[in-house]
Chains A and B, each alone.
Chain A
Amino acid sequence: MQKKLLTVSVVAAFAALALAGCGKEEPKPAPKAEAPAAPAAPPPPPQIVVKIGHVAPLTGNIAHLGKDNENGARLAVDDLNAMGIAVDGKKLVFELVGEDDQADPKTGTVVAQKLVDAKVNAVVGHLNSGTTIPASKIYNDAGIAQISPSATNPTYTQQGFKTAFRVMANDVQQGSVLGSYAAKSLNAKTVAIIDDRTAYGQGLADEVEKAAKAGGAAVVAREFTKNDATDFTAILTKIKGKKPDVIFYGGMDAQAGPMLKQIKTLGIKTKFLTGDGGCSPEMIKLAGDASEGVYCSQAGLPLDKMPRGADFEKRYKAKFNTDVQIYSPYSYDAVLVIADAIKRANSADPAKIVAELPNTATEGVTGKVQFDDKGDVKNGAITVYTVKGGKLDVLEVQGGSLVAKAEAAVKDAVKDAKEAAKEAAGDAAKAVGQAATAVGQEAKKVEEAVKK
């Protein structure tokens, strides 16, 4: 009897562990959209109403971020209406249709269908990757453009949807910045990488590994933990034996915090680097003083580093009487990008907006927005932070269209000047003259670029 019970119990334990192992299944976006939505019925001239759908969680524990996104979009809509854009001789009247997805994938698909039924011309949203990805199928089926200001999971734009765009760097871009930051800025010759085996952690860690190797650093240990683990001593001790220059962790703050404490107890003095999942005040709270000197990154620019950030912040505060959270400059830009596409297409027809979006080159608050062939923003900015005095401190910004452009222009100017000097080696006077002209011209270009 006892033995039988024991067997049953062991089986039960295994079953429980197996259950614990399976993650939550992503709800499938069940509702099917009908045939591509008809273009917004053109109301009697001289004006066209352009409905822009906006989705973010407006209730629940990240409601403050959702409201922030909506405010950014609202500010853009008001600005566009004040500007008075005309298409085909008719004035465009922009209208924001705000919806709440509660950060819940199921609700996300429901409100997506609601926006499709309301015949919006384009959508800005959603906030979370978890809601953006299932909703993207509904917008794709309806042929409506979707621009997310904040979803970073690479899958969103890798589903082959012509309608899916984002104005924020994805986790692949973040991973490559982190990897090259480790190799170049932190001068790491050897890197140890740990991930938590989730889609986010593993994906980010893989990208970091690639970029670190490309940057000339060797990966001396690739270790794994789980997103519910608390004991990391075994893998950390193994890493200690490999003496890496940098440890990277792909995962969330709930593990990064205790991990940092154990690193300290084990007497490991290696630099610690992590992605946006661990780059939070929560990580600092959990790790205490062990978080001091940690490097971590977040997708996006800090507000004061954005080309028109200061102006945006001032007008946002004046209008909504509250502080900018994180993503509102990006939702503002997403609306501008849509308006730009309408201008170029000379039509507010959803299908024509979708067709025009890949040609985007809009100067927004966050810099110049351009999309690659997948719909990801080109040169998306990543900000690297370090923990100093228990707070996240901006260390440097990588990427970002403006920075990249200015850098390229400077490089070109230097190259041209060098070449000019070489060519004119025979004629010193001419060379000086030529080089001076070239430098002058390029300098002007740089100046223009920066001004933009």
Chain B
Amino acid sequence: MTFHPEIFLQQIINGLVLGSIYALVALGYTMVYGILGLINFAHGEVVMIGALTALSVILALHGAAPDLPAALFILAGTLVAIPVTMALGYTIERVAYRPLRNAPRLAPLITAIGVSIVLQNVALLVWGRSYRSWPPILPTTPHTILGANITDLQIFIVLAAAAIMAGLMLLVNKTKLGRAMRATAENPAVAGLMGVNVNVIISVTFVIGAALGAIAGVMVSANYQIAHYYMGFILGLKAFTAAVLGGIGNLAGAMLGGLLLGLIESLGAGYIGDLTGGFLGSHYQDVFAFFVLIVVLIFRPSGLVGERVAERA
């Protein structure tokens, strides 16, 4: 097997783009987990609703004025999708999680899966069963760097994931709201006694997570140029894996886990077949990714950069 450096570089780029997409979604999981200790399995579906809402707006706008610049379309789509998912995130928390806040930990996990199924079916009713494709607004001519191709959008996705992670870290660690969030995470009862409105803080967390979901949804569907009602399921599962890999509850961990998972998948699919002489093929890329996850969890149960969070009573 001959080694092509430009192919290797392309696989790294593929991995970084895919990883940034996972990271964008994983940030939403990890935020909610960090504050509530709850895995919000419906987050993948929030991403899907964001993507489909934005696509509907973009399609309508493209029908009315097809010559606007691509960035404007995406901006308009995202600006409509964000309030929609924010409202959705708030509603989910209010209806499905708040009544169960003091219930055993498994109960909200089950409702989360229930909410995810409900949202999928709502999307099925609203947007139909078939794949919806993007109008041809994005420039498809890629930049070539040392023989590897990357599009403007892909560069933007990688930068956006990093910027959003940094923004969230600033929010959590440097602002008053962030301090309230950390206090709630530490001990909601005591935080309440200290004058923190715990309900508001938790709602805000969900709403921010959902807004991130909308942005992730737009980026994902723009990258693949399609959106459909089922897209959130696999994406959510992969992002959740990424969050666990990096250390769930830790914002930098979500980013690290996402990038690592993306790289493992793309290098795995690209090279397993040749390295094992055809014994294992590209259908083992998921097996490979989960194998790495298991190994990491055995040696570092709280993830790569996760710290042991104080036990909650």
Contact = CB atoms under 8 A, between A and B. Distances in A.
B178 interface: no
A404 interface: no
28 contacts: A1-B311, A1-B312, A2-B37, A3-B302, A6-B248, A8-B106, A9-B109, A13-B240, A16-B237, A20-B233, A222-B281, A224-B282, A224-B283, A225-B283, A228-B230, A234-B15, A234-B265, A234-B269, A235-B270, A237-B10, A240-B10, A254-B130, A257-B133, A261-B140, A282-B131, A286-B131, A286-B226, A288-B225
Interface in B214-250: 224-226, 230-231, 233-234, 237, 240-241, 244, 248
A17 interface: yes
Interface stretch (A34-42, A263-271, A310-318, A394-402): A263-271
B269 A238 contact: yes
A248 to B, nearest CB: 15
Given A233-B18, A237-B270, A10 B225 contact: no
Interface string A222-262: 11110011110111011011000000000000100110011
B114 interface: no
B105 A230 contact: no
Nearest to A17: B237
Contact of B136 (A20, A222, A289): A289
Interface in A1-32: 1-3, 5-6, 8-10, 12-14, 16-17, 20
A285 interface: yes
Nearest to A236: B14
A64 interface: no
Nearest to A240: B7
B102 interface: no
Interface string A183-213: 0000000000000010000000000000000
B133 A286 contact: yes
Contact of A234 (B244, B270, B312): B270
Given A13-B241, A233-B266, A257 B109 contact: no
Nearest to B129: A61
Interface in A289-304: 289-290
A11 B26 CA distance: 18
Given A1-B311, A231-B224, A288-B133, A238 B18 contact: no
A356 B105 CA distance: 68
B301 A234 contact: no
Given A1-B312, A233-B266, 6 more contacts: A222-B273, A223-B273, A230-B231, A234-B15, A235-B282, A265-B140
Contacts of A257: 131, 133, 226
B96 interface: no
B270 A238 contact: yes
Interface string B260-280: 000001111111010000100
A2 B226 contact: no
Interface of A, secondary structure class, is helix
Interface range for A: 35 or more
Nearest to B311: A1
B184 interface: no
B309 interface: yes
A6 B247 CA distance: 10
Contact of B283 (A197, A233, A262): A197
B227 to A, nearest CB: 10
B192 interface: no
A234 B285 contact: yes
Given A9-B39, A257-B131, A223 B234 contact: no
A229 B230 CA distance: 11
Contacts of A290: 140
Contacts of B270: 234-235, 237-238
Given A16-B237, A223-B281, A257-B226, A238 B244 contact: no
Nearest to A266: B149
Nearest to B230: A228
B4 interface: yes
Give the top 10 A-B pairs by smallest Cβ distance, nearest first: A234-B269, A224-B283, A241-B7, A234-B266, A233-B14, A238-B270, A230-B224, A237-B10, A223-B282, A9-B39
Given A238-B282, A267-B144, A286-B131, A10 B244 contact: yes
B53 interface: no
Nearest to A243: B4
Contacts of B39: 5, 9
Contacts of A229: 234
A364 to B, nearest CB: 35
Query: Of residues B266, B267, B311, which shows the largest number of chain A Cβ atoms within 10 Å of its Cβ?
Result: B266
A223 B280 CA distance: 10
A237 B241 CA distance: 24
A84 to B, nearest CB: 48
Nearest to B134: A288
B151 interface: yes
Nearest to A12: B109
B48 to A, nearest CB: 12
Which of A230, A234, A289 counts the most B-chain CB atoms under 10 A from its CB? A234
Contact of B226 (A8, A230, A238): A230
Contacts of B269: 223, 234-235, 238
B109 A264 contact: no
B282 A231 contact: no
Q: Indicate the member of A230, A233, A254 with the most B CB atoms within 10 Å.
A: A233
Contact of B37 (A5, A223, A228): A5
A265 B302 contact: no
B11 interface: yes
